Each structure stands twice: as C-alpha cells, then as structure tokens.
Structure 1
Amino acid sequence: MNPEMIAMQEPQTMQSSHQDRWHVVQPGENLTVIAQAYYGSEHAAHWITLYNFNREMIGDSPDVLLVGMELLIPDISEFL
C-alpha cells in the first residue's frame, strides 16, 4: 500500500464524534485518573485510548501532562 494512502487513512480512525468531550488537565492528574473519571474504575485501562486520541497534544510521553492542557475525551461506549 502507498505510504501516502496510509498516512491519509490513519486520522480517520481517530476522528471525534458528537458524543466526545473535552477535559482540562488539573494538578495531580494523569491519563489513568482521567480515564477513571470518564469511563469508570473498571475501564481505567482506556488511558491508552486517551493517549492515542491526544498524542499530538501530549507528545511522546504519556506520563507528562501539563496543567491546563485540553484533552479530547472520546466516546468509547460502542467498545464497552
């Protein structure tokens, strides 16, 4: 497959829906805490989903969140 075609297709898997929300990072928060707040304790492992949807904003390290950073909280109800 052509690399340009792959690059064009990747963003489609990370599109937001009308059910998505935004979260402003507060002091002491990390992706696991945020995932628990929106998806429940039993779905805290979805921190990786948050990271994948916000990788451009967060950067290479999912452990580093800046206070005030705005993160997309995708609707994952279809996967639960």
Structure 2
Amino acid sequence: MGIFDRFKHDKKSDDSAKEQVQEQAAPGQSAPAPSSGDTPAATAEKYAGATEDAVDATKEAADRLAASARIAPEPKAEAPAAAAPAAPAHRTYTVKPGDSLSAIARHELNNESRWHEIYDLNRAAIGGNPDLIQPGTELKLP
C-alpha cells in the first residue's frame, strides 16, 4: 500500500463513520452534517442537542453503575468475650546426669550462650548456683 492509497483508505473510513452516526441517530432525527464553511460556533449550535443528550445518557449510565456497585455493609458480628490470656506454653526439659545449662541450651536452643534465659525462667527450681543443677529437675525452655 502506497502513501496515497493510505489517504484514500482514510477518506473511505471517514465516510463510513458518518454513515454510521446518521444510522444511529434517533428515529425522525438526522445528525446534522458539518459543512466545511461552518464556524466553530455554528457547528456547536448544530450539535448542541446531541451533546446534551450524550451528557444526560452518560450521567444516567454512571448513576446506574454507582447504584449497582454499592454494597451494603456486612453486619458486624459481636466479638466473643475475651478469654483470660493463657500462659505461653513452654517446652520442658528433664535434666540428666552430666547436663549443664549451656549444654542444654546448645542442644535445645541451638545456642549455648542462651543458658542464662533457661536459668532466668527456672531460678526457683535451680537455686542460686546455675552450675549446680540436679538430675530429674524439669526445666522450662524459652
């Protein structure tokens, strides 16, 4: 397709578009065709009614869409009464002969430097000396 063929094709498209507009006009009305000598004001006067109709139709369509899009708020379900917060469940470990807090921390917590956390949780069961833990003592783990 050459350059000039493209211009011919565009002109045919313009003619068919004008025909479609005239066919879609309301029965008994014909869409006024602008003439090349019309001023912008004259063209605006010719199409004033069509523009107002288009604006009204657009507003009506927008109102219908907005009405159908409105969703009623769901009724809020009453929250169940707050139960007393449960104490966090700690894992436990029973001390075996030869255990130390650092060894327990290394095996159970994967970090032997966390032995003081075990000691802090179990100070009452262990006593004042963290190096002296008795076999059979059940320890809480963090």
Q: Same fold (TM over 0.5)?
A: yes
Out of 29, 32, 55, the residue aligned to residue 99 of structure 2 is 29
Shift in Å, 1:39: 1.2
Q: What SS does structure 2 have at the residue aligned with 1:63? A: coil
Distance 1:58 1:28 in 2: 15
Specify the alignment match of 1:66 in structure 2.
Answer: 134
Residue type matched to 1:22 in 2? T
User: RCO greater where, 1 or 2, for CA within 8 Å and sep 6 or more?
Assistant: 1
Larger Cα Rg: Structure 1 or Structure 2? 2
Specify the alignment match of 2:115 in structure 1.
Answer: 47
Distance 2:135 2:93 in 1: 11
Q: Which runs of 5+ in 2 are unaligned?
A: 1-86
Out of 63, 77, 88, the residue aligned to residue 17 of structure 1 is 88
Report runs of 4+ in structure 1 exceeding 3 Å deviation.
Answer: none
Distance 2:130 2:88 in 1: 23
Number of residue-to-residue matches in the alignment: 56
Q: What SS does structure 2 have at the residue aligned with 1:64? A: coil
Distance 2:112 2:88 in 1: 21
Q: Which runs of 5+ in 1 are unaligned?
A: 1-15, 75-80
